[in-house]
Amino acid sequence: MDEVGINKGVDLLKKLWTGLALISLAVLTACGGGDQEAGQNKDLLEGIKKRGEIRIGTEGTYKPFSFRDEKTDQLTGYDVEVAKEMAERMGVKAKFVESPWDSMLTSLNTGRFDTVANQVGIKEKRKEKYDFTEPYTVSYATMVVHKENDEIKELEDVKGKKAAQTPTSNYGKMAEEAGANIVAYEDMMTAMRDVAAKRADVSFNDRLAVAEMMKSVDLPLKTVGKPMEKSEMAFPVPKGNEDLVKAMNQALDEMRQDGTLTEISKKWFGEDVSNP
């Protein structure tokens, strides 16, 4: 064999060994990645137990689910009470971290808190990023307009209208899909006040939240159309935390079986909204 042939053979062997090395590295990385993910899964629940508290993101402005009592300034509401009871049964305290809705799930991703108690709907797109507990609320959406508004009566009437919404919420997406032009707001009450002031035409939100608002705030508003899109709300956690979800579900199951969840629900709504 001449020198050229020898060099070609050496180059071929080098390429072969390089290829085998890369394949081996990929296999080791995949295996290591699985171990790392399992470790992170275990560490999040262990971190909660070590701290003695579970950090829970919530708005604090979404009555009757999460808001501050006018007399005591204490955080309260349906979601707050359910989360507190769940945490207690997990053997830890609930530490609430107030946050605007549109940054809430991002903050969950970055580890600012461990879960969210803010009527987070279980959606297929969200399930790509988060694991969810069993639902603790079942409800429907409704539309709210100014009481003098006779143009919007059904869902199809909102096309081209200004909808006051938190853009990343279930209801913001619903309004957008119906053809409305979204006007962004940080919370429900600011949006509703602008509908009352005729700066926006309509706002979509949860029927339970709307009923509470109508009862407690004197605004020239009315609901229109039929109840829409049944939603199940649950606690989300970062993807891959099966141990944490299991612990949270165990607490929720106990609450459901001994009637505590129904009791909290009836306290706030006069009906059991915790079951389909």
Report strand pairing: 66-68 vs 75-76: antiparallel
**Pick among 3.40.190.10, 3.30.460.30, 3.60.21.10, 3.40.50.2000: CATH of 140-231:** 3.40.190.10
CB 39 within 8 A of CB 240: no
Residue 275 CB partners (closer than 8 Å, separation 6+): 138, 256
d(CA 137, CA 81): 13
Q: Which two tokens stand for residue 104?
A: 């809430």
Q: Read off the pLDDT of residues 193-243 as tens digits, 9 standing for 90 and up.
A: 999 999 999 999 999 999 989 988 999 999 999 989 889 999 999 999 999
Q: Read off the pLDDT of residues 97-136 as tens digits, 9 standing for 90 and up.
A: 999 998 999 999 999 999 999 999 999 999 999 999 999 9
**This model's pTM is above 0.75:** no
Helix ranges (H only) for 76-169 are 78-89, 101-109, 124-127
204: alpha, beta or left? (left if phi > 0; alpha if psi -120 to 50) = beta
Is the peptide bond preceding residue 64 cis, with omega within 30 degrees of 0? yes
Q: How far is CA 181 from CA 8, 172, 184, 198, 202, in A?
A: 66, 10, 10, 15, 10
Instruction: With cut-offs at 50, 70 and 90, classify the pLDDT of residue 254.
Output: very high
Domain locations in the chain? 49-136+235-269, 140-231
pLDDT at residue 275, rounded to an integer: 81
Place of tokens 């399992």: 38
Q: Read off the pLDDT of residues 165-199 as tens digits, 9 standing for 90 and up.
A: 998 888 999 999 999 999 999 999 999 999 999 99
d(CA 218, CA 270): 21
Neighbours of 194 (CB within 10 A): 17
Phi, then psi, of 21 in degrees rounded to 5:
-65, -40
Phi, then psi, of 146 in degrees rounded to 5:
-65, 145
pLDDT at residue 8, rounded to an integer: 45
Instruction: With cut-offs at 50, 70 and 90, classify the pLDDT of residue 276.
Output: low
Please determine, looking at this structure, whether the domain spanning 49-136+235-269 carries the CATH number 3.40.190.10: yes
Angle at the Cα of 262 from the Cα atoms of 93 and 259, rounded to 5 degrees: 80
Helix ranges (H only) for 90-187 are 101-109, 124-127, 170-177
pLDDT at residue 33, rounded to an integer: 39
Amino acid letter, 141: A
pLDDT at residue 150, rounded to an integer: 96
CB 99 within 8 A of CB 109: no
pLDDT at residue 229, rounded to an integer: 84
pLDDT at residue 28, rounded to an integer: 37
Q: Which two tokens stand for residue 102?
A: 């549109």
Fold: same for 49-136+235-269 and 140-231: yes
| Angle between helices 3-51 and 242-257 in degrees, nearest 10 | 30
The residue ranking higher by pLDDT, 160 or 168, is 160
As a whole-number percent, the residues of the chain with pLDDT over 70 amount to 84
